[in-house]
C-alpha cells in the first residue's frame, strides 16, 4: 500500500539556508560536514504519561546533546556491514529505498563485540525525500521510549554515486505487524500477542501525543510502521512524516495531505486539518486489521469486501455475526468478548467527529482493561500456518462457523469480571456482561 501526497511541499519547514527547523524539538543542519546542531530552545520534554519509562525531562540543550550522541557512520562502514548492500540481506523495501540487515561493531567494546542492526538506505529516486530523512533524524534522534524504535546513527556522505543518506536502527527481529497479518512470515500471530501489539502501539502513540510538552502527530500510522522485537513488543517506526501538533488543545495544523490510503482520517483528507485525533482514526483502522487479519484496502477481494471498514460494519455490532469477521487463521483460538471489546474500541476511534474519538491515553487504559479482563497469556508463541489455517483463510466469510472457545480454554469463557462491571458499563462495551437482576 503506497503513501500519497495530495499537494506540494508543506508550508514552511526550511529556512533560507536549507535548514529544516523543528520548533521546540531540535534542529538538524545538513551541511557538507553533516553536523548536528543543538537547539537553542528551552522547551522541556516530560516523561510519558502513557506507561513505561520514557525520555524524562530535558531541556533544548539536552536535545542537542542527544543528537550529537547519534553515531555518525561512514558509507564504507555500512557497505561492509551489509556485505556491499547485498540483496540477500534486504529485509524491507519501499518508496524510500531498501532496508538491509547489517552487523556493526559495538562502540568502545575492546573485545570487538558486534550487534545486528537495520540499515535503511534512501534511494535517489525514492518517494521519501531529503526532508523526511532529516525529520526522522530530528525526532528519533532525541526521543526515547520503549515503544519507539531506537535510531542508532546515520550516514550522509559523498561517494561516487553522490550524497548517500542512510539511517541505522536497532534490529527488530520479528519484522512488522503488516508482515504477520499478510502472511509474509510462516507463523500465525495468536490472539494474546495481537492484544499485546495493540497495547504497545497505543502506548507509543500516547507518548507522542501526550507524553511531552510539544505534541507530535505521527501522520502515517499503519501496520507496516509497527515493528516487533524478539519478544513481540511493538515499536513505532518511520518518523519521516511526523509533524508537531497545535499548541492549543482544540487547535489544528493546516498541512499538505500525506499518508497512506485506507488509514488517513476523513477530515484530514477533506480539509488538510491535522490533529492528534487523525492518528486515533488510523489506530482504529489498525485495530480492525488485528481482528480480521485483512488490510484496510484490498483490491484482490470481492468488491463488497475490498474496503475493510465498510465490510465489517454490519457484522461488528451483531454478536451472532461477529465471528464472520475474525481472522480465520486463528482457528477459533481467541477470546470472543475481548475481540468484541476491541471492535467497540475501534468504533470509538473511528467516530466521524474527531472530538468524539478518545485520546490515546484513554485508549491505553481501555486496552489494559481488555487484557486484564481476558486473562491472556503473552508467552503464547506464534503458531505455524498449516493446511487448516490456509483452508479457513480461503473460506468465504459468509460460510464461516462460530467457534466455542470456552470449551477448550475455560478461562476465556468467563462472561464477566468485577473489572468489567466497574469500568465498561458507561461505554456500552460489555452490555452482554451485565449481571442478571
pLDDT tens for 145-177 read: 999 999 999 999 876 777 789 999 999 999 999
Binned at pLDDT 50, 70 and 90, residue 424 comes out as very low
Q: At which of 170, 192, 216 does a domain end?
A: 170
Phi, psi (deg, nearest 5) at residue 379: -85, -5
- What is the per-residue pLDDT across 27-75, written as a single tens digit (0 to 9) for each? 333 332 333 323 323 333 333 344 433 333 345 565 666 667 789 999 9
Residue 181 has pLDDT above 70, yes or no: yes
Q: Residue 408 — very low, low, confident or very high, per pLDDT cuts 50/70/90?
A: very low
Write down the pLDDT at residue 277.
96
159 and 269 part of one domain: no
**Residue 305's domain spans which residues?**
177-424
Q: Summarize the annotated binding site for ATP as residue ranges.
A: 120
- Same-domain check for residues 149 and 70: yes
Bind-site residues: 120
Strand partners, 412: none
Examine residue 281 and state whether it is found in any structural domain, yes or no.
yes
- 434, part of any domain: no
Specify the long-range contacts of residues 105-111, CB closer than 8 Å, at least 24 apart: 107/71
- Say whether both 35 and 125 belong to one domain: yes
In this prediction, residues 304-321 reach a mean pLDDT of 95
Ranking 163-167, 333-337, 394-398 by mean pLDDT, the lowest is 394-398
Q: Summarize the confidence of residues 350-356 as an average pLDDT.
A: 97
In 252-291, the DSSP E strands lie at 253-254, 258-260, 273-274
Which of 170, 195, 229 is at the close of a domain?
170
Query: Do the domain assignments include residue 433?
Result: no
State whether 164 and 181 are in the same domain.
Answer: no
Please name the residue that has the C-alpha cell 519509562.
53
Residue 42 within a domain: yes
Query: Residue 25: which of 129, 135, 119 has the closest Cα?
Result: 135
Residue 326 has what pLDDT? 98
Tell me, what's the pLDDT at 138? 83
Which CA distances in Å does 38 have to 151, 167, 433?
17, 19, 55
Question: Looking at the domain assignment, is residue 324 inside a domain?
Answer: yes
Q: Are residues 136 and 264 in the same domain?
A: no
Q: Tens digit of pLDDT for each residue in 63-107?
A: 666 667 789 999 999 999 999 999 999 998 876 789 999 999 988
Asked if 223 contacts 187 with a C-beta cutoff of 8 angstroms, the reply is: no
237 and 92 both lie in a single domain? no
Does one domain contain both 212 and 63?
A: no
| Between 62 and 284, the higher pLDDT residue | 284
Q: How many domains does the chain have?
A: 2
For the chain, what is the mean pLDDT?
A: 77
Report the alpha-carbon distance of residue 306 to residue 298 in Å, rounded.
Answer: 5
Residue 294 within any structural domain of the chain: yes
150 and 202 within one domain: no
CA dihedral 121, 127, 128, 129 (to 10 degrees): 100
pLDDT of 437 > 60? The answer is no
Same domain (yes/no): 181, 166: no
Domain with residue 206: its CATH number is 1.10.510.10
152 and 181 within one domain: no
Residues with a catalytic annotation lie at 220
Residue 210: count of CB within 10 angstroms of its CB: 18
Q: Are residues 108 and 208 in the same domain?
A: no
Q: How many Å separate Cα 56 from the centre of its chain?
A: 22
Asked if the structure places residue 8 within a domain, the reply is yes
Helix H or strand E segment including 341:
helix 336-349
Q: What is the CATH number of the domain that holds 43?
A: 3.30.200.20
Query: Which tens digit of pLDDT belongs to each residue from 117-139?
Result: 999 998 875 556 788 888 888 88
Half-sphere exposure of 32 (CA within 13 A, CB side): 1
pLDDT in tens, 238-261: 998 888 887 666 667 777 788 888
Cα separation, 430 vs 344, in Å, equals: 9
Residue 147 domain flag: yes
Closest alpha carbon to 283 in 183, 187, 350, 340: 350
Domain finish residue from 121, 154, 170: 170
The DSSP call for residue 146 is: T
What's the pTM?
Answer: 0.75
Question: Do 124 and 240 belong together in one domain?
Answer: no
Strands (E), 61-134: 71-72, 90-94, 97-105, 114-122
Inter-residue contact 199 to 371 (CB < 8 Å)? yes
Q: pLDDT category, 16, cuts 50, 70, 90?
A: very low
Amino acid at each position: 500500500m503506497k503513501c500519497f501526497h495530495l499537494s506540494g511541499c508543506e508550508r514552511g519547514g526550511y529556512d533560507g539556508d536549507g535548514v529544516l527547523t523543528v520548533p521546540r524539538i531540535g534542529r538538524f543542519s545538513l551541511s557538507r560536514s553533516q553536523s548536528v546542531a543543538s537547539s537553542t530552545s528551552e522547551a522541556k520534554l516530560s516523561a510519558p504519561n502513557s506507561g513505561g519509562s520514557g525520555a524524562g525531562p530535558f531541556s533544548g540543550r539536552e536535545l542537542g546533546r542527544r543528537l550529537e550522541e547519534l553515531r555518525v557512520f561512514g558509507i564504507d562502514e555500512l557497505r561492509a556491514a551489509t556485505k556491499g548492500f547485498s540483496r540477500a540481506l534486504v529485509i524491507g523495501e519501499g518508496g524510500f529505498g531498501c532496508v538491509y540487515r547489517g552487523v556493526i561493531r559495538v562502540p568502545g567494546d575492546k573485545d570487538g563485540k558486534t550487534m545486528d542492526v537495520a540499515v535503511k538506505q534512501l534511494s535517489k529516486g525514492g518517494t521519501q525525500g531529503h526532508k523526511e530523512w532529516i525529520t526522522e533524524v530530528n525526532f528519533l534522534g532525541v526521543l526515547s521510549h520503549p515503544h519507539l524504535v531506537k535510531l542508532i546513527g546515520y550516514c550522509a556522505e559523498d561517494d561516487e554515486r553522490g550524497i548517500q543518506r542512510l539511517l541505522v536502527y536497532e534490529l527488530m527481529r520479528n519484522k512488522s505487524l503488516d508482515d504477520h497479518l499478510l502472511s509474509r512470515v510462516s507463523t500465525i500471530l495468536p490472539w494474546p500477542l495481537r492484544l499485546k501489539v495493540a497495547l504497545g502501539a497505543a502506548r507509543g502513540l500516547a507518548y507522542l501525543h501526550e507524553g511531552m510538552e510539544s505534541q507530535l502527530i505521527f501522520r502515517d500510522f499503519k501496520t507496516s510502521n509497527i515493528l516487533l522485537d524478539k519478544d513481540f513488543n511493538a515499536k513505532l517506526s518511520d518518523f519521516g512524516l511526523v509533524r508537531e501538533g497545535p499548541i492549543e488543545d482544540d487547535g489544528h495544523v493546516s498541512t499538505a495531505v500525506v499518508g497512506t490510503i485506507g488509514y488517513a482520517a476523513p477530515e484530514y483528507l477533506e480539509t488538510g486539518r491535522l490533529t492528534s485525533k487523525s492518528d486515533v482514526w488510523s489506530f482504529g483502522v489498525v485495530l480492525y486489521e488485528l481482528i480480521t487479519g485483512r488490510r484496510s484496502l484490498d483490491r484482490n477481494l470481492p468488491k463488497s469486501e475490498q474496503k475493510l471498514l465498510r465490510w465489517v460494519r454490519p457484522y461488528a455490532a451483531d454478536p451472532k455475526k461477529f465471528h464472520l469477521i475474525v481472522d480465520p487463521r486463528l482457528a477459533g483460538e481467541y477470546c470472543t468478548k475481548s475481540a468484541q471489546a476491541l471492535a467497540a474500541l475501534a468504533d470509538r476511534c473511528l467516530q466521524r467527529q474527531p472530538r468524539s474519538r478518545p485520546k490515546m491515553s484513554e485508549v491505553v487504559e481501555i486496552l489494559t482493561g481488555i487484557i486484564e479482563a481476558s486473562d491472556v497469556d503473552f508467552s503464547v508463541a506464534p503458531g505455524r500456518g498449516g493446511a487448516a489455517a490456509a483452508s479457513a483463510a480461503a473460506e468465504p466469510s459468509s460460510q464461516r462457523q462460530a467457534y466455542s472457545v470456552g470449551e477448550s480454554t475455560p478461562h476465556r469463557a468467563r462472561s464477566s469480571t468485577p473489572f468489567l462491571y466497574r469500568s465498561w458499563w458507561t461505554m456500552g462495551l460489555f452490555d452482554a456482561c451485565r449481571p442478571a437482576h
